[in-house]
């Protein structure tokens, strides 16, 4: 086989070669001086970057996401970004499960590009886990009990492995990486602020005797705005719960990583990222590589129907309402939201899910709405809002919706994937956080980055009432505050594009990681 080394920073174009010889084409980013040598036509080239006459060979990066689409999608986008410019790197996803893959998982994994493959590990048993166990406990146990299967898969892998990349609940897999002398990295799919909190948590735990929500003074997270204890991520609110113990366990192990890959970008969270990147003994280097957002994909019905409806609406006139793949409202909250949207007299596109009166993340492991689409909405609501409102049961093509010109605002749960999709499309937000770290995200978006409006709860019952919803929606879509947020989002949209450009900060960090992983495997040969 002839190997062609294509040295360029531009997208790879296939040369026209009339030959029966099999060709393997690799492209190397020209971020370091290269010295390419070959002894004959059929010899493998060697390249000098940091090491003279380093052989160019395939490097495999193993990625293991925790269960849940919110963890899989950003890691897939990181893999896409990695192989886009570094064609000598291939990525293998090894996915732990506790049952058959979901329809959402199989859909997103169906058409992976060349260079990315995946396998599902055998399902683990969680029958001994209490029914009321929190998501963080379930994900952590799924990963832990999948380690024997992960070990077997990695041991039989024939390619040289440059790194094992796990997400925030997967650090117990570091034990397998150590056994095999493979570099260990954490992929952190949320904010730099949340990452800073995770790294600070072991110290905070030692210094705090009470529950965090009982603290009088806000918690000072390094490099970030202060946050009240009740606004910290959900699983740390009850120190006696297994979920908190798991979060603390993972936070302690983060410092074993050779690096942490962060799905944000310097221009979005400058103070926090600069603090994270300061040298500190025992703290891994942090590589901001965001915003990693899935921007393409085929759209099927009813997705096409809602996009056609958007085509008919005036520019910037529609509020998109969606709580992500996992978020659900209670029956009362759903009722208030419906009537608030109606009272606002604004156009809206609402992804409607069956309410759940027990937990806000009821649909985390499934994107499907279980009941009849709209029978739980207020009587007459569907008929009264026809024309101004468009209802989609369960799911909509969110990236395409947010990119549509008629969208002027996004009422969101403040999940980080959704927030980044808003940023890259310049769409301002109304914050309605539900679970996980979303309350922290909302604080940052409202007070620090200033791209979101707050919905205030009624102090007596904790409910966001219809009058408040109507008022804030009108403010975002028609008011001066909404205009200010829109201008700010436009600036961030441009900065996000710059970070992902050829010489952008995030692209450079991805290239730096690729070089480290390539050199790691070469040094081991």
pLDDT digits over 239-272, tens only?
999 999 999 999 999 999 999 999 999 999 999 9
pLDDT of 525 higher than 60: no
In angstroms, rounded to a whole number, what is the distance separating the alpha carbons of residues 208 and 203?
9
Q: Which residue has the higher pLDDT, 118 or 85?
A: 118
d(CA 174, CA 186): 10
Per-residue confidence band for 102, with pLDDT thresholds at 50, 70 and 90:
confident
* The pLDDT of residue 100: 93
What integer pLDDT is reported at residue 373 of this predicted model? 80
Judged against a pLDDT cut of 70, whether residue 472 lies above it is answered with yes
For residue 364, pLDDT over 60 is answered with no
Average pLDDT over residues 215-242: 96
Quick one: average pLDDT of 11-29? 38
Task: Tell me which of 52-66, 357-371, 385-399, 493-507 is least confident.
Answer: 357-371
Residues recognised as catalytic: 71, 167
Overall residue count recorded for the chain in this entry: 525
**Per-residue tokens: 78:** 């990181």
- Rounded Cα distance between 400 and 296, Å, is 8
What angle separates helix 480-499 from helix 505-524, to the nearest 10 degrees? Answer: 30
Give the lowest-confidence range in 37-51, 239-253, 353-367. 37-51
Confidence band of 359 (pLDDT split at 50, 70, 90): confident
Q: In 10 A of CB 268, how many CB atoms? A: 23
Q: How confident is the model at residue 104 (pLDDT cuts 50, 70, 90)?
A: confident
> What is the mean predicted confidence (pLDDT) over 116-143?
96
For all residues of the chain together, what is the average pLDDT? 88
The dihedral built from the CA positions of residue 331, 135, 351 and 433, taken in this order, carries a sign that is positive
Range 185-205 average pLDDT: 98
Tens of pLDDT along 295-324?
A: 766 676 667 899 999 999 999 999 999 998
Over residues 4-14, the mean pLDDT reads 39
Please report the pLDDT score of residue 295 as a whole number. 73
Q: What is the helix (H) or strand (E) element at residue 62, kind and residue range?
A: strand 59-64
CATH of the structural domain 301-498, one choice from 3.10.28.10, 1.20.1530.20, 3.40.50.2000, 3.30.499.10: 3.40.50.2000
Q: What is the pLDDT of residue 29?
A: 42
Mean pLDDT of 58-65: 97
CB atoms within 10 A of CB 32: 12
Where are the chain's structural domains?
59-294+500-519, 301-498
Confidence (pLDDT) at 41: 31
The CATH class of 59-294+500-519 is alpha beta
Residue 53: the pLDDT is 41
Same fold flag, 59-294+500-519 and 301-498: yes
- Mean pLDDT score, 28-38: 38
Task: Supply 522's token pair.
Answer: 């070469």
Q: For residue 76, is pLDDT > 50? A: yes
- Give residue 388's pLDDT: 96
Query: Token digits for 57?
Result: 């060979």
Taking the C-alpha atoms of residue 502 and residue 81, their distance in angstroms, rounded to an integer, is 11
pLDDT, average across residues 358-384 = 72
User: Tokens for 163?
Assistant: 């790194």
Q: What is the mean pLDDT of residues 403-421?
A: 97
459 pLDDT higher than 90: no
For residues 419 and 446, give the distance between their C-alpha atoms in angstroms, rounded to a whole number: 12
The pLDDT of residue 33 is: 38
């Amino acid at each position: 086989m002839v190997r062609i080394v294509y040295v360029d920073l531009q997208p790879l174009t296939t040369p026209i070669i009339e030959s029966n010889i099999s060709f393997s084409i690799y492209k190397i980013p020209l971020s370091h001086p290269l010295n390419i040598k070959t002894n004959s036509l059929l010899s493998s080239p060697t390249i000098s970057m940091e090491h003279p006459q380093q052989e160019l060979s395939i490097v495999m990066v193993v990625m293991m996401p925790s269960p849940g689409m919110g963890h899989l999608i950003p890691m897939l986008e990181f893999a896409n970004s990695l192989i886009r410019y570094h064609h000598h790197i291939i990525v293998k996803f090894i996915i732990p499960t506790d049952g058959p893959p979901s329809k959402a998982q199989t859909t997103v994994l169906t058409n992976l590009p060349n260079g990315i493959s995946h396998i599902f590990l055998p399902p683990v048993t969680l029958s001994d886990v209490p029914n009321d166990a929190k998501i963080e406990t379930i994900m952590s146990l799924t990963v832990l009990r999948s380690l024997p299967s992960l070990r077997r898969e990695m041991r039989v892998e024939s390619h040289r492995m440059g790194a094992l990349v796990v997400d925030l609940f997967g650090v117990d897999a570091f034990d397998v990486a150590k056994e095999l002398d493979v570099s260990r990295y954490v992929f952190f799919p949320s904010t730099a602020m949340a990452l800073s909190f995770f790294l600070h948590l072991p110290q905070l735990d030692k210094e705090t005797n009470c529950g965090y929500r009982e603290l009088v003074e806000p918690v000072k997270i390094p490099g970030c705005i202060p946050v009240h204890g009740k606004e910290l991520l959900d699983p740390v609110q009850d120190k006696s719960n297994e979920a908190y113990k798991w979060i603390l366990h993972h936070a302690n192990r983060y410092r074993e990583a050779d690096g942490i890959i962060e799905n944000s970008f310097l221009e979005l969270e400058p103070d926090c990222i600069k603090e994270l990147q300061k040298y500190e003994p025992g703290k891994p280097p942090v590589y901001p590589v965001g915003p990693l957002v899935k921007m393409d994909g085929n759209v099927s019905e009813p997705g096409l129907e809602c996009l056609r409806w958007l085509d008919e609406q005036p520019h910037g006139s529609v509020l998109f309402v969606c709580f992500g793949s996992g978020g659900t409202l209670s029956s009362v909250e759903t009722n208030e939201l419906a009537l608030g949207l109606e009272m606002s007299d604004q156009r809206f596109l609402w992804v409607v899910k069956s309410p759940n009166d027990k937990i806000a993340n009821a649909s985390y492991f499934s994107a499907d709405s279980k009941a009849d689409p709209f029978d739980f909405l207020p009587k007459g609501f569907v008929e009264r809002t026809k024309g101004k409102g468009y209802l989609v049961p369960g799911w909509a093509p969110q990236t395409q919706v947010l990119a549509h010109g008629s969208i002027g605002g996004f009422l969101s749960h403040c999940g980080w994937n959704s927030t980044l999709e808003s940023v890259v499309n310049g769409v301002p937000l109304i914050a309605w956080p539900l679970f996980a770290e979303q309350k922290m995200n909302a604080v940052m978006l409202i007070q620090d980055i200033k791209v979101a409006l707050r919905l205030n709860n009624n102090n007596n019952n904790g409910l966001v009432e219809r009058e408040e919803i109507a008022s804030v929606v009108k403010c975002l879509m028609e008011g001066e505050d909404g205009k200010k947020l829109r201008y700010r989002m436009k600036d961030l949209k441009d900065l996000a594009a710059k970070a992902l450009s050829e010489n952008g900060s995030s692209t450079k960090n991805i290239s730096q990681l690729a070089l480290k992983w390539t050199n790691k495997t070469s040094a081991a040969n």
